[in-house]
Amino acid sequence: MSWHVVPIDFVIILFSGCFTFTGGKDRRSGLILTIPLCTEQTSMEELSSTLDYLLAYTILLKKYHLILISSHFLLGFEVILVSANKLTRYIEPCQLTDEFGGSLVYDHIDWVNKRLVFEKFTKESTSLLDELVVINDSEKSSQLDKERPPDCNFLPSLDPETVLQTGHELLSELQQRRFNGAEGGGVAWSPMDDELLAQPQVMKLLDSLREQYTKYQEVCRQRSKRSQLEDIQTKVMQVVNWLEGPGTEQLRTQWGIGDSIRASQALQQKHEEIESQHSEWFAVYVELNQQIAALLSAGDEEDLVELKGLQQQLSDVCYRQASQLESRQNVLQSAHEFHGTAQDLSQQLDGLLGMLCADVAPADGAAIQQTLKHLEEKLKSVEGALVGLREKGQVLMDQMSNQTSWSYGKDVPIDNKDNVDHIQGVMEDMQLRKQRCEDMVDVRRLKMLQMVQLFKCEEDASQAVEWLGELLDALLKTHIRLGDDSQETKVLLEKHKKFVDVAQSTYDYGRQLLQATVVLCQSLRCSTRSSGDTLPRLNRVWKQFTVTTEERVHRLEMACSFHTAAEKVLVQASPDQGDLPVEVEQETYEEVETVGKALLDRLTVPVIFPDGSEQYFGSPGDMASSAEHIRDKMKNANGALITACLVPDQFVLSCHILSPLA
């Protein structure tokens, strides 16, 4: 018999054990159904209903020690009452369970479970097949009628995979040649005939189910592709509409460059916020582009054109918007650099102006040179910064001139006149400030060069004072010789005149330098720095030098007169001259005596300076040596005269005259 769907009440009865369907057969090949009537849980009505379901069975009713055999053929029953030991007349022992003294192995729970699985699979697979056919036919109709949208909400009530798996497991169970007997160690139990007959029915259902499920999977794939395509279209339009709408409007209203570095930083921060919003949409673009690329790689010809169109539209809008964002970022970066350079240049100009407006009070020429060098470096730095400002300003204006705004699919030129005017105004203002500083630097440079000259004149004037002091010191310490004869004395006089000329030149040079300092101080509008110090020192040293040189000249002239007179006496006393008139000799001797004595007295007198201070020529030893030389020469003159005189009176007179010098 074929298997049918078991009512739930029958399932309960079957599980209770009121019926056992062992799979055994009687000698007429009728299947045996055993009903133990000793149970109190089953009513006669339940037994009657269940028997109507289980037709064509040989029924064994076990009650006490008698066996009731009932064979149901078509609509009638044949009932035989036999004892247990005579049951084998009608049924072979191998077809009876051990309960009836046979050897047939039977597992009632296993049989009920397989029966329920079969009934469940048959019901679910049949219902699922009907649903899949409806779904597949509906999808096919929607493909033929493009205007009618498919019913995408119609889904099978059961999971096809689960139903198929149940069917395969059931078929595997039905196809087994052994059921539990081998595992239990009993006699092998072959499948019952109705189980063997159920296999083709299960296989047919599985084949039909697989066929419809394969079609349904294709329907689902088409639905998924169509849904994915529609989702992509929706998202693409969302991205495009936002970028061409609010995104473009954000950029269109943000074209300023600011008027300071702080303002440009604020604009950069605002642009970063705009970029952050765009980044979210660009991330959607990347995801959509990957999805489109995956669909394109699938190779569905009918969707290629539409997908490529969506991809191109999305890419064009995104790249155009990204280009505008990058262009705007470049403009803001250039504006930030321009304002930064302008701020640095302004600070440099302020610093330079502060230096130029400050009073100059350098200590010396080296400090002035250092200040001048610092000014030149500052000015050079300002010039370099101004050149950099012009370059950055030009770059910024070039970038702005190349900017265009994309508004609803059209290029809209941007009016940057205010920005350009601001850039040019900043550069012109910096140029004017730099020019004013240059003019002031020129004035300061001239003033500082004059100060360098002033310091140089003061330094050279002080040097002239030192030189005069050195000349005075040399005159007093080294210019002490009076000469050994008149000729040497005259040479010393000539050298002394040259020495005095050098000193006079030094003094005149110092005076000229001090006069130049007066003129420079008047030009610089500063007080005369050197007249209270250097000029008095110069005049004091010069007066000391003048007094000293006059004394030196006077001593050299006296020495020259002395040597001349002495040499005349020596010549007159020479034997080659003969006798001389007494009057001439007397006058000459008196001159030698007078000049020599005066010269000796002069050597003992110090040089008295205008301020009352005194200074001697050379050391005491030097003066003693000069005096000794004069005395020796006077003695020589007297001795020569005595030797040459023949008249005693003359000799006595000469000795009397020279005696004080002895």
Q: Where are the domains of the chain?
A: 10-105, 111-141+154-229, 260-447, 479-646
Listed in sequence order, the residues at least 6 apart from 292 whose beta carbon sits closer than 8 Å to its beta carbon are: 232, 307, 310, 311, 314
Beta bridge partners of 66: 63, 83
Classify domain 479-646 at the CATH topology level.
Answer: Methane Monooxygenase Hydroxylase; Chain G, domain 1 (1.20.58)
The pair phi, psi for residue 25, each rounded to 5°, is -130, 150
Distances (CA, A) of 295 to 215, 236, 298, 407, 456: 21, 15, 5, 31, 91
For residue range 92-116, what is the model confidence (pLDDT) as tens digits? 888 888 777 788 877 777 777 777 8
Per-residue pLDDT, 368: 78
The answer to whether 90 touches 82, Cβ cutoff 8 Å, is yes
CA-angle at 311, arms to 403 and 224, nearest 5°: 150
Round to the nearest angstrom and report the end-to-end CA distance of the chain: 191
| Burial class of residue 294 in the structure, from the number of CB atoms within 10 Å of its CB (0-12 exposed, 13-18 middle, 19+ buried) | exposed
On the question of pLDDT at 250 being above 60, the answer is: yes
The answer to whether 124 touches 166, Cβ cutoff 8 Å, is yes
Per-residue pLDDT, 6: 46
For residues 34 and 179, the model is more confident at 34
Average confidence (pLDDT) over 361-387: 83
What is the rounded CA–CA span in Å between residue 601 and residue 595?
10
> 638: which 2 tokens?
């007297």
Classify domain 260-447 at the CATH topology level.
Answer: Methane Monooxygenase Hydroxylase; Chain G, domain 1 (1.20.58)
DSSP helix, strand, coil percent of the chain (3-state; round to 5): 75, 5, 20
Q: Rg (Cα) of the chain, in Å, rounded?
A: 72
Q: How many CB atoms lie within 10 A of CB 247?
A: 22
Per-residue pLDDT, 375: 85
The answer to whether 296 touches 307, Cβ cutoff 8 Å, is yes
Per-residue pLDDT, 41: 56
Q: Over the chain, what is the mean pLDDT?
A: 78
Average confidence (pLDDT) over 274-303: 83
Edge-to-edge strands, sheet with 31-36: 20-25, 31-36, 57-63, 66-73, 76-83
Above pLDDT 90, what percent of the chain? Answer: 14
pTM over 0.85: no
On the question of pLDDT at 491 being above 70, the answer is: yes
Lowest mean pLDDT among 9-18, 117-126, 214-223, 586-595: 9-18
On the question of pLDDT at 617 being above 90, the answer is: no
What is the rounded CA–CA span in Å between residue 497 and residue 515?
26
What is the rounded CA–CA span in Å between residue 265 and residue 343?
13
Maximum mean pLDDT: which of 8-12, 183-187, 339-343: 339-343
* Per-position DSSP letters for 171-200, written without gaps between them: HHHHH-S--SHHHHTS---PPPHHHHHHHH
CA-angle at 34, arms to 29 and 38, nearest 5°: 160
Q: How many CB atoms lie within 10 A of CB 301?
A: 6
Sole residue written with tokens 């020279």: 658
Lowest mean pLDDT among 49-58, 59-68, 119-128: 59-68
Confidence band (pLDDT; 50, 70, 90) for 661? very low
Residue 103's Cβ-side half-sphere holds a number of Cα atoms within 13 Å equal to 7
For residue range 318-362, what is the model confidence (pLDDT) as tens digits? 888 888 888 888 999 999 999 999 999 999 989 888 888 877 666
Confidence band (pLDDT; 50, 70, 90) for 650? very low
Confidence band (pLDDT; 50, 70, 90) for 192? low
Average confidence (pLDDT) over 137-158: 67
260-447 and 479-646, same CATH topology: yes
DSSP 8-state code for residue 360: P
Average confidence (pLDDT) over 254-270: 87
Per-residue pLDDT, 522: 80
For residues 133 and 576, the model is more confident at 133
What is the rounded CA–CA span in Å between residue 59 and residue 68?
8
What is the rounded CA–CA span in Å between residue 416 and residue 397?
9
